[in-house]
Amino acid sequence: MEVAVLDINGKETGRKVDLSSTVFGIEPNNHAVYLDVKQYLANQRQGTHKSKERAEIVGSTRKIKKQKGTGTARAGSIKSGVFRGGGRMFGPRPRNYAFKLNKQLKRLARKSAFSIKAKENSIVVLEDFNFDSPKTKNFAAVLNALDLQNKKSLFVLGASNKNVYLSSRNLQGSDVVINSELSTYKIMKAKQVVLLESSLEEIVTNLSK
């Protein structure tokens, strides 16, 4: 699959790159994509939720009414969950939501995500660029040139670039990552995936193992 290389002004440079069919042209595995996205979202959860149960409530332990003759249910403690101010029954406890996926499945999920975007013509290849200093308006100009100002976009850099990253940080809906930070969730979330030329070779190398 050949794709034209664009410059930061959105114009074709006259060069084309071939997107590897082993990464960008496979039959997508939707279940692998689902599992990888589920794991990513699960890992974002802190799991620090906690409510007090009956044993943790501070209160009197006296029997609040006699056992029989009231016509109502027995009650032995004001700390019971059936009373206002009592402990919560079976409340949430701190837990870890993370679960394991093997590397082959995660690679398959990312390849499937890239293939889905390729079929939707949602992948753009951009020549490498840099800014002299971090300025939001410079990155906004790139988004305008690529008609991405009102779309969620994912820029994949070949190497860490502080000026480009800082320039994009204040723009909502635009995400800049390097190859090692790529995730299926970020690929699927973006309406347009912008791959810099220098990132292509490493993406193919990492996902073809």
Residues 6+ apart with CB under 8 A from 49: 92, 93, 94
Whether 150 shows a pLDDT value over 90: the answer reads no
Delineate the domains of the chain, giving CATH numbers in brackets: 2-45+99-207 (3.40.1370.10), 47-96 (no CATH)
Tell me the C-alpha to C-alpha distance, in Å, between residue 166 and each of 22, 92, 162. 33, 39, 6
Whether 60 shows a pLDDT value over 90: the answer reads no
Give the separation between CA 143 and CA 101, rounded to whole angstroms: 35
- The pLDDT confidence band at residue 145, using thresholds 50, 70 and 90, is very high
Count of C-beta atoms within a 10 Å radius of residue 30: 10
Q: What is the pLDDT of residues 109-130, one digit of tens each?
A: 999 999 999 999 999 999 999 9
- The pLDDT confidence band at residue 38, using thresholds 50, 70 and 90, is very high
DSSP states of 142-195? HHHHTT-TTS-EEEEESS--HHHHHHHTTSTTEEEEEGGG--HHHHHH-SEEEE
Give the separation between CA 71 and CA 134, rounded to whole angstroms: 75
Tokens 């490498």 belong to which residue? 128
Is the separation of the CB atoms in 109 and 23 below 8 Å? no
Q: What is the maximal distance between C-alpha atoms in the chain? A: 93
Q: What is the pLDDT of residues 74-113, one digit of tens each?
A: 998 999 999 999 999 999 999 999 999 999 999 999 999 9
Give the separation between CA 11 and CA 24, rounded to whole angstroms: 23
